[in-house]
Amino acid sequence: MNRLNVAIVTGGDVAERSISLQSAATVFKHLDAGKYNKYVIELNKGIFTEQGTGARVDMNDFSLQRESGAVRFDLIFLMIHGHPAEDGCLQGYFHLLGIPYTGCNHFVSALTFDKQACKDFLRSHGVPMAPSRLLRRGQPVNWQELLGMGLPLFVKPNKNGSSYGVSKVKTPEELEPAVALSFQFDDEVVVEGFLNGVEFSNGVVRKDGETVVLPITEIVPKNEFFDFKAKYENESQEITPARLPDDQREQCQAQTKKIYEALGCRGMSRIDYILVDGAFYFLEANTIPGMSEASIIPQQAHAHGWTISQLLDAVVEDALMVVRQG
């Protein structure tokens, strides 16, 4: 069997760059070398180059220009968190070039990356979620309306990940500075009502055309909420499988499948929740979730009985299936 040339695309010029590089390293390590020729392609300041050699990518066809000749890719494994992958920009580019890529298409990626738009879409599907308001840079803010949702409030960039720029607001005086902080990361900010419960995260992937919902992870942050340090600097306890009775586990996994399929996701995604009074309140959908060795999705894959290599095989096969189906 001929090995596929796979470009693991990583980096980017956003706050999540370091996490993307860690995720790509995990994918490179665990993609089966017997099936794939692996190339790590890093985006830095608008230029795509191969890690190690510095060889540049020709943006006319996304071929790698090595001294020994051009390398053309059979598949793009997207591992950029945030812009320009998680928001769908690169997916549109690769679609035009006719190169298969992992994960969701450009529309679904853009929709899920826009937290408020995703919530608005899922509301019609009966998915429980906290009340929220969208603020846009340069537009007037009705502070009293925001405070009318009650305190505490969460303030977060609308289109960003990894909990950059997120604040928990406990007093009216903290609200305006928290909004200003979020505006440092995005031109839109979401102010969201506080949910007092336990946070859970549930991975999902498509394998052989079927939706496979992975075991659930319970998140116990050492800080007040699941912020950047809790996610990436071991300042949280992540329990997989989660400590849930069977009925709640089935309820959460059924809701994850419903959301994944309602959004039209492909490949590997992660849905985050807070459990309040027996209901799993939707927080956000992550269509390019973190893939460091300690990340939630690898934990869940192991609990499901898969190696990371088997998980990545499923993601690759799903991307190729999209092409075969036309």
Q: What's the token pair of residue 152?
A: 């505490």
Q: What's the token pair of residue 159?
A: 């289109």
Amino acid at 183: F
CATH architecture of 110-127+196-324: 2-Layer Sandwich (3.30)
CA distance 261 to 99: 24
pTM over the 0.85 mark: yes
Instruction: Please state which of the four CATH numbers 3.30.70.20, 3.90.1150.10, 3.40.50.970, 3.40.50.20 is assigned to the domain occupying 4-101.
Output: 3.40.50.20
pLDDT bracket for residue 322 (50, 70, 90): confident
| Domain positions in the chain | 4-101, 110-127+196-324, 132-193
Residue 229 pLDDT greater than 60, yes or no: no
Residue 172 pLDDT greater than 50, yes or no: yes
Considering only CA atoms, which of 235, 267, 257 is closest in space to residue 109? 267
Q: Are 80 and 9 in contact (CB under 8 A)?
A: yes
Mean pLDDT for 263-290 is: 97
Q: Report how many helices (DSSP H) and strands (DSSP E) the chain contains, helices first.
A: 10, 16
Q: What's the token pair of residue 143?
A: 């502070």
CATH architecture of 132-193: 2-Layer Sandwich (3.30)
Find the helix or strand (DSSP H, E) in which 117 lies.
helix 115-123
Give the model confidence (pLDDT) of 51-110 as tens digits: 999 999 999 999 999 999 999 999 999 999 999 999 999 999 999 999 999 999 999 999
What's residue 234's pLDDT? 55
Cα four-point dihedral sign 172, 174, 180, 181: negative
Q: Are 182 and 189 in contact (CB under 8 A)?
A: yes
Mean pLDDT of the chain: 93
| Residues acting as catalytic residues | 16, 162, 232, 270, 272, 284, 286, 290
Q: How many CA atoms lie within 13 A of 152 on its CB side?
A: 12
